Amino acid sequence: MTENPKDKPWLFRTYAGHSTAKASNALYRSNLARGQTGLSVAFDLPTQTGYDSDHVLAKGEVGKVGVPVCHIGDMEALFDQIPLDQMNTSMTINATAPWLLSLYIAVAEKQGADIAKLQGTVQNDLIKEYLSRGTYICPPKPSLKMIADVAEYCYANVPKWNPMNVCSYHLQEAGATPEQELSFALATATAVLDELKPRVPEADFPAMVGRISFFVNAGIRFVTEMCKMRAFVDLWDEICRERYGVENPKFRRFRYGVQVNSLGLTEQQPENNVYRILLEMLAVTLSKNARARAVQLPAWNEALGLPRPWDQQWSLRMQQIMAYETDLLEYDDLFDGNPAVTAKVEALKDGARHELATLDSMGGAVSAIEYMKSRLVDSNADRLTRIERNETIVVGVNQWIEAEPSPLMSEDGGIMTVDPKVEADQIAHLNDWRAQRNEQAVQTALAGLRKAAREGNNIMPPSIEAAKAGVTTGEWAAEMRAVHGEYRGPTGVSPNPSNRTEGLEDLRDAVDAVSNRLGRRLKFLVGKPGLDGHSNGAEQIASRARDCGMDIAYEGIRLTPEEIVNAAQNDGAHVIGLSILSGSHMPLMEELMSRLAAAGLSDIPVIVGGIIPEEDATRLRDIGIARVYTPKDFELNTIMMDIVTLADPSAIAAQ
C-alpha cells in the first residue's frame, strides 16, 4: 500500500429543490457558495409525472418534494445566474427526462452556451420506476424507446452528458437485497444498451457504453455495501467486455453517483441519523477502486420532513471534512488482497449472476418487471419482520427507546414547511405564461412532437423546439400519453390467500371473529392518493392484512380521492387505509372526507400513514381520521389489530 499524489475529491452535491424555481435558485446559489461543486435537482411530483401545476392530480403536491417546472420560463428562473456551461448538473427525472433535458438545453442555448460542453446526468431510468418509485407515465416498451432517444441525441450533440443513469437507489429503498440491487440494476442497463446498439455505428458503440452511469444506494451495513460496490465494478466490466465486446477499459469503467440510504433514517431520536449517514458514506469512499464520482447525502431530519438549508449545509460539511481533513484520498485501494473482502465480493457476484440468468431466461428486465416487483415486496416484508422480531436492531426504534429530547428540534419543528400559498402562486404564473405565449407556435411545436412520436422518430429535436415555443410539461406529457397510452405498474401484492402466517395466529383468529360478526370477510381498501409513488409502506400494509386473512383491495398508486371513494362504495370496504409520503396529506384528506360524507360513507373508518407532523396529525383526527401512523409506528401487527377493532361491529356499538 503506497502513498500517492492526492486524488481529486468526488463531486459534492445535495439533492435540493422546493416551493418555486426562484426559491430553489436562491438555495442552489447559496449551496454553491458554501462549497458544493455540483447541482442535484429535485423536481416536484407533478413535474416528475408529467402534469402541470393546475392538474387535478397535482392538488397539494406542487413544490412539496421538489421544484415545479412547467415551462422554459421556470427552467430559466431555476438556473438564473448559474452558467450552465460551467456546471455539472444531475437531474433526478425519469418519465419526463426527454422534456426536462430539452428545457435545460433550450435554457443553455439562451445563455449562449455551447451545448456540446454541457456536463451532467439525467436519470432517465424507467424500469426502476415500475419497481419502486412510481413516477412512470407510459408502458415499458415506448418508455425504453424514449430512453434510447435521449442517449442517441446526447451522443451526437451533448457528448459530455450522461444520458441514462441506472438507478438502483430506490431498489434498496424498496427492500432489495444486495444481490437483487446488483442484478436488477445491471439487467436494466443491458436492456437499454440492447435498445441502443442498433442506433449507432458499431465502431461508436463502445463510447456510447461509456456514457452510461449509475446511481446507487449505500446502507448501514457499510462493509457489505462497500463489497457491493466492488462487485458492481467487476460485474459491469465483465458485461461490457463479454456481452458487448468493449475493449477500451475507459469505456468499461463503472461510473456512479450515490445518495446514502434514506430508508434507514429514523423519526425516533433523529439526531442518531448523523452517525448513520457518515457510516454509509464510508461504503462509497473508502475503496479507491470502487469510489463514487459524486456523493449527495440526506439530512439528519429527512424522516421528519423537508430539510432546512442549515441541515443540508451540515451534510455538505460531512463530505468536505472527509475529503479535505482526512488522508483518505492519499492512498491506493485499502482493500485489495483482503481475503474477507474478496470472499464477500465473490459471493455477491455469484448471487447476482444467478439472478441475472433468471432475468435473461424471462427475456430481460422489461419482460421480468412483475417478477422483480414481487421479489422486492417479499424482501421488504422479510426486512420489516426481522425488525419487528428484534432480529435486526435499530437503535432508538426497537432497542434503547428511552432518550432525552433532541435540542436540534427547534421552534420550527426541525423541518422546513412549504407555504400552501406557493401552489396558488405557481398556478397563477402558469396561467399568465399560457396567456402570453404564441399559441400558434405552441400548436405547431406540439404537432411536430406528435408526428415524431407516432412515426417512431427521435423525440428530442421536436421536444427542444417545443420547449423554445413555450409548451408546458403537461402538454408534452399529454402527447406521449396520447400516442403510447398510460400504464399501471404491478403492485407486487397478490390478493390471493397467503401462507406467510407464522406468528399471526391470534390476528387471524380476530379477523375471523370480526368477519363472522360482519357477515362477510373483513374488507380492507388500501390506496395511495395523489402523485406520491413511494408505495413500499402501502404494499407492506396490504401484504400483512392479506396474511392476517383480510379481503384486501389494493390498486396501487396515483388515485384521486374520487376514485378512492368510488372503490370504497363498489367494494363495500369496512376500513380505508391511505399512504401519503409527499406532505400533501391535509388537502387530500380534507377532500376525501368531504367526498365520503357526500356519498353517505362517513361511517367507514379511515386510517392514514405518512411523514406527518404531530400538528397535522391532530388536524387529521379533528376532521375524522380514525388513526394516524408515522414511520415510528413500525409494528405492523399493532396496525392490523387497530384495523380489526375499527371494523368490529360490536366495538362500534359499544362506543
> 18 catalytic, yes or no?
no
What cell numbers appear for 221 in the block?
451495513
Task: Return the ∠ at Cα 608 (arms to 605 and 610), rounded to 5°.
Answer: 175
CB burial of residue 1 (10 Å; 0-12, 13-18, 19+) = exposed
User: Which listed residue (18, 523, 528, 574) is catalytic?
Assistant: 528
Q: Could you tell me the sign of the dihedral formed by the alpha carbons of 354, 355, 361, 363, in that order? A: negative
- Please report which helix (H) or strand (E) contains residue 478, including its range: helix 473-484
Instruction: Give the whole-angstrom CA distance, residue 607 versus residue 306.
Output: 23
> 169 catalytic, yes or no?
yes
> 15 catalytic, yes or no?
yes
Instruction: Give the whole-angstrom CA distance, residue 617 versus residue 615.
Output: 5
User: Which listed residue (15, 130, 155, 256) is catalytic?
Assistant: 15
Q: Look at strands 256-260 and 213-218 and give their pairing.
A: parallel
User: Which listed residue (130, 169, 554, 629) is catalytic?
Assistant: 169
> 354 catalytic, yes or no?
no
User: Which listed residue (534, 554, 574, 642) is catalytic?
Assistant: 534
Query: Considering only CA atoms, which of 43, 22, 157, 33 is closest in space to residue 95?
Result: 43
> 534 catalytic, yes or no?
yes
The residues, any chain, with a CB within 8 Å of residue 240's CB and separated by 6 or more, are 209, 246, 251, 252
Report in angstroms the alpha-carbon separations of 322 from 17, 19, 36, 218, 278. Answer: 25, 31, 14, 16, 9
Q: Helix (H, G, I), strand (E, B), or coil: what is residue 529?
A: strand
Instruction: Give the whole-angstrom CA distance, residue 506 versus residue 408.
Output: 41
User: Which listed residue (71, 170, 344, 574) is catalytic?
Assistant: 170
CB burial of residue 444 (10 Å; 0-12, 13-18, 19+) = middle
Contact indicator for 560, 57 with CB cutoff of 8 Å: yes
Q: Helix (H, G, I), strand (E, B), or coil: what is residue 258?
A: strand
The residues, any chain, with a CB within 8 Å of residue 231's CB and separated by 6 or more, are 178, 182, 345, 348, 349, 352
User: Which listed residue (532, 547, 551, 648) is catalytic?
Assistant: 532
User: Any idea which residues carry the catalytic annotation?
Assistant: 15, 169-170, 528, 532, 534
